[in-house]
Structure 1
Amino acid sequence: MQDWVLGPESAAATGDTGPWVRWLPLAWAMAADPGGTYSPPPVPRGDNQDGQFIAWWAPLLQLTSYGLGWAQPLRGLARWDQAGRPLDEPVLAAVQRWWGPQLDDVLAWGADWRPGDNEGPYLPLTPTTFERGTLFQPYWGRRSQPEWEQVWGSGSDPLHLWIHARTPLDASVELPEVALEQLLTLPTHPKVAALLHTGRTANQRPNDVLLLPRYAGWYRLLLAAGPPRHGGHDRRVDVVVTPLGWLGQFRRSTKTGLWFRGSHDTHVQGNV
């Protein structure tokens, strides 16, 4: 392995160890600070013998699946691409800056991904059917290129992207197996999550902060949340992983049942 595999962040900040999480903190930072001057890592060249393609592509599914709440991130990316790639959402602005020129590669992979081939897509934890035909038709031609075949052509998930993107849903021995609201009654401890009520905004939305000591399992805690504790139908929760930073302000869709940041119109693009 090359030196780039090992980053300065701990497993608490990334949820895992190894090449697939090397650039995950950078990806969330770009989405949190769209006006920043972050530079994406260089595009990998050659083959994937040292895992460089896994590290480069892996954050894409985490940003879109959990940031945008896309149960079907490849469907969402294809729709976004065919809509002209609008950049009004910070997550998608980060996607364009990082993976934009190579987006056809991952969409060509999605063109022949089959439900049941592996564990994804992983929201809401059940296999779903991707649209075939017209949605992914523009990307089929890319699959015939030798450089695409070299990286993506061996198996249904040659880079193991679905598997390595599951950590926000993982159960963690460091986080309690309780409903989100019950965190209010737990004792304060460095290894226990905290839910902090910060009041209401000017438009009477209930606002909370979910403060977590570890990255693994953060989205699972959101999914365990019940109705807003303080009334209202548009509860906002800022998610902060202390060794990593702010992941965004999330709300739950009454249409999909999933949590997302940004606009609801963008959220539904990656769902049935």
Structure 2
Amino acid sequence: MTDTALQQDRPDPGTQGVRRFGRVNWLGLRTLAERETRRFLAVWTQTLLAPLVTAGLFLLIFTLAVGTRRGEVMGVSFLHFLAPGILMMTVIQNSFANVSSSIVISKVQGNIVDTLMPPLSAAELVAGYLAGGILRGVVVAAAIMLVLFPFIGLGVQNPVMALVWVILGGAFLGSLGIVAGIFANKFDQIAAITNFIVTPLSFLSGTFYSLETLPPVMQALSHANPVFYLIDGLRHAVLGVSDSSPWLGLAVVATATLAVAALGWWMFRTGYRLKS
């Protein structure tokens, strides 16, 4: 073989590391995101209607049980104080469930290979799964704001920041859902993670109370919980009141989201608990 032929057979050094469809597989990423979206829309009564009903029941029960006897909290009525917390709690639980259940079901059914074999990088897999989880959280939040908030006479002071906090909430718990879904090999394990990690993070984060009522030790523990900043930030966007600085909350939640998403990226990159 001539030297010219050898040179033609060698790959161009300038093209090494560049995939034929570009540095980002936009078609594959869009397909994965669309699959995750169609997945929860196909059973909308469970994924969208049920969270709306649950949030409404929370507000109804607290209205009947406490009513006006609770008085104001942070200068607003107790019912209005509750609403943003319940909204964020619903968002993060649904975002987590959307991502984690998708991965676990694929592993249990043995078709996770259909997601891993296409030319998608680890970052694209993380982004595709997160797209479905975030969108489900945003749709649930919009339904609660449009249907339930008018019934309790509540508006949104800063809709743009409210959307930012909802997206951050979906991204953080969606990233946690990726990690949990990859780690779990059966439904019992994902249920344990939901019951012993996600639910306590949601309930013990200022959803139903202000941190001002807690002893110093509990306040310190709450400030170490990223979900507290999600609820407090959304409360500030909706009501204009908060327990801490919204800018501090943005920094904490963004850092926590990047850290958990990076862990999910590493799991996909190495095939941790995905390849046998």
Mark yes or no: TM-score above 0.5.
no
Q: Which one has more relative contact order, counting CA pairs under 8 Å at least 6 apart?
A: 2
The structure whose residues are more often helix, as a share, is: 2
TM-score normalized by the length of structure 2: 0.23
Q: Which has the larger radius of gyration?
A: 2
TM value normalised by structure 1: 0.23
Structure with the higher fraction of residues in strand conformation? 1
